[in-house]
């Protein structure tokens, strides 16, 4: 019974810690020449902020970005980046902004997949008497946090392959369209050359009013 109670207490502790973590995974289209910002609220200092993004389609799959703290100070930025995965420590309480700029493009919009996560850094203290729960809770808690880390790694890998798939599909579609229009223009050119040859031959044999039988 004591072992079950210890395991239940450790599991409740880990779940309560996971509930303190919140994230927002979104996909948005950023039109050409525009800037879009998203915000995350931090209510405690030294919290961890995770920021991931990847350009799924549009142009050369790059975009400008910047992250500002509640004092409107730039703490992270990049130019013409295809994707990024960052972990930051919030030194100030308030609203953090995450902005994407598509100023370098005048026609093409960019489709961006991004994830903003805010997570408390310290773990909660283990409830109950340390002599009764410390040994069991520590082992179970560490196992749960390791599983959480492995799941996060798998999720990142899935996002990476999803991005590669979208980029590959975009390249294949662009190549297919180019081949189609090249073949279409080539057919028009061949038909035009055939018509021009017929016209030249008719003009050659009908010039000066003389007709020849071929």
Which pLDDT score, from 0 to 100, does residue 14 have?
44
Choose among 109, 24, 118: nearest CA to 63. 109
pLDDT digits (tens, 9 = 90+) for 6-57: 444 444 444 444 444 445 568 889 998 899 999 999 988 888 888 989 888 8
Phi then psi dihedrals of residue 114, to 5 deg: -140, 160
8 Å CB contact between 39 and 29 = no
- For the beta carbon of residue 214, count every other beta carbon within 10 angstroms: 4
Residue 164 or residue 69, greater confidence? 69
pLDDT above 90: percentage of residues in the chain? 17
Q: Region 99-103: what's the mean pLDDT?
A: 91
pLDDT digits (tens, 9 = 90+) for 189-201: 899 898 988 888 8
Which pLDDT score, from 0 to 100, does residue 20 have?
43
H or E, element range at 146: helix 130-206
Q: Region 105-122: what's the mean pLDDT?
A: 79
Q: What residues does each domain of the chain span?
A: 2-166
8 Å CB contact between 90 and 76 = no
Which pLDDT score, from 0 to 100, does residue 19 have?
40
Report residue 73's pLDDT band, with 50, 70 and 90 as the boundaries: very high
Question: How long is the chain?
Answer: 214
Any idea what DSSP says for residue 208?
Answer: G
Look up the CATH number of domain 2-166.
Answer: 2.60.120.680
Which pLDDT score, from 0 to 100, does residue 209 have?
54
Q: Which residue has the tokens 């927002």?
A: 24
Report residue 66's pLDDT band, with 50, 70 and 90 as the boundaries: very high
Choose among 162, 152, 166, 156: nearest CA to 85. 156
Residue 120 or residue 85, greater confidence? 85
Report residue 210's pLDDT band, with 50, 70 and 90 as the boundaries: low
């Amino acid at each position: 019974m004591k072992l079950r109670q210890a395991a239940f207490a450790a599991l409740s502790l880990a779940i309560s810690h996971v509930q303190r973590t919140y994230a927002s995974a979104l996909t948005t289209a950023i039109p050409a020449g525009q800037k879009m910002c998203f915000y995350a609220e931090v209510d405690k200092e030294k919290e961890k902020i995770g920021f991931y993004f990847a350009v799924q389609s549009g142009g050369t799959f790059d975009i400008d970005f910047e992250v500002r703290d509640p004092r409107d100070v730039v703490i992270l930025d990049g130019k013409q980046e295809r994707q990024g995965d960052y972990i930051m420590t919030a030194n100030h309480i308030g609203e953090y902004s995450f902005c994407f700029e598509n100023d370098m493009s005048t026609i093409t919009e960019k489709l961006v997949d991004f994830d903003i996560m805010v997570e408390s850094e310290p773990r909660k203290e283990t409830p109950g008497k340390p002599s009764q729960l410390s040994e069991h809770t520590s082992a179970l808690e560490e196992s749960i946090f390791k599983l959480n880390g492995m799941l996060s790694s798998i999720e990142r890998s899935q996002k990476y392959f999803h991005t590669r798939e979208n980029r590959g599909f975009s390249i294949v579609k662009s190549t297919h369209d180019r081949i189609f229009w090249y073949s279409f223009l080539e057919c028009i050119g061949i038909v035009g050359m055939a018509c021009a040859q017929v016209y030249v031959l008719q003009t050659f044999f009908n010039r000066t009013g003389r007709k020849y039988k071929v």
